[in-house]
Structure 1
Amino acid sequence: MKKSLNLLIALAMTVALVGCTTSGLTGTTYTRDEARRVQTVKYGTVESVTPLVIEGRTDGIVGTGSGAVIGGIAGSTVGGGKGRSIATVVGAVAGGLAGQAAEKNLTTKQGQEITIRMESGEILSVVQEVENDRYFHAGDRIRLLKQGGVTRVAY
């Protein structure tokens, strides 16, 4: 009973942690370090928009670690002695791989490539996440916001 409870608690923590991950790839998402910093603002008009998929995270920070813990706990409930140790290791490895795949699926986002004709005549392309199912459209007047190495498209 105690092992099942531990497994249930670990699973709940994993779901909570993965659910808290945000991509920060929208035009209105800023990190704490980006707040209160000067940005360069330029204006332009959207020429075209191409829907695309932004791949999910695979760095394993949340998914792999949590999956390994859950898999290890689950594996430790199998067998006894040396068999239990082997099952724990196999469970941890399998759980880590499953957790990494789950993290990638949960953090994959719908994106858009926005091609913009700037007022200067220059044509630029920016890829960013679609926010609230709201795509930019050809003819939209936009602001191009640049800060350090980060560029955003906003209305």
Structure 2
Amino acid sequence: MNRSWVKACAWALVVSLALSGCATFDGSANVYSASQAQREETVRFGTVESVRGVTIDASNGQPGVLGALGGGLLGAVAGSAIGGGHGSLLSGAIGGIAGAVAGDQVQSHFAQKHGVEITVRLDDGSLRAVTQSVDGPMFRAGERVRLLSSGGVTRVTV
């Protein structure tokens, strides 16, 4: 096996593994950032009106640059191993384009999480809707909950 091909594949693997850490938004009611710890929160009580499943996109609509680069590199290396001369260049270019598209799709997939939109009627009669990831107890209509708010972040907890 060609030594430069093995080296390029190793780098592509490193880039691909790095992509798994690209989705940094957690959106969980159970995860606090360091800046949120030891901060006072406003607590309000209410009753769940409705709960519906949603998808949370942690990419914020931004294209997956690292996914496209990693996929393009891997596709170009794999494609250039096919054929010889100009055929190798052409298959490398096609492989690079196909890999970039595939890498972007993979990164987009990893940036999406399952979540819930919880509509709560507060004790004062007002309605609030909070979206958060699904990682704790599932809420049901009629259940009493707390809304914890601090610095623009609101969480629904039992």
TM-score w.r.t. the length of structure 2 is: 0.76
Q: Which runs of 5+ in 1 are unaligned?
A: none
The Cα of 1:84 is off from its aligned counterpart by 3.5
Q: Which runs of 5+ in 2 are unaligned?
A: none
Structure-2 residue corresponding to 1:24: 26
* Cα distance in 1, alignment partners of residues 46 and 118 from structure 2: 11
List per-residue Cα deviations over 1:83-128 (Å, max 9, x = no partner): 4444333322221110111122233222211010112211111121
Query: Is the 2:15–2:66 Cα contact (8 Å) retained in structure 1?
Result: no
* Cα distance in 1, alignment partners of residues 38 and 79 from structure 2: 48
Moved more, 18-27 or 76-85: 76-85
Structure-2 residue corresponding to 1:11: 13
Corresponding residue pairs, total:
153
Moved more, 23-32 or 74-83: 74-83
Q: Identity of aligned pairs, percent?
A: 36
Aligned pair partner of 1:98 in 99, 102, 125? 102
* Cα distance in 2, alignment partners of residues 92 and 37 from structure 1: 48
TM-score w.r.t. the length of structure 1 is: 0.78
Q: Deviating runs (4+, > 6 A) in structure 1?
A: none
Go from structure 1 to structure 2 and tell me whether the alpha carbon gap of 1:33 and 1:60 turns closer, same or farther (over 3 Å shift): farther
* Cα distance in 1, alignment partners of residues 82 and 130 from structure 2: 51
Residue type matched to 2:54 in 1?
A: L
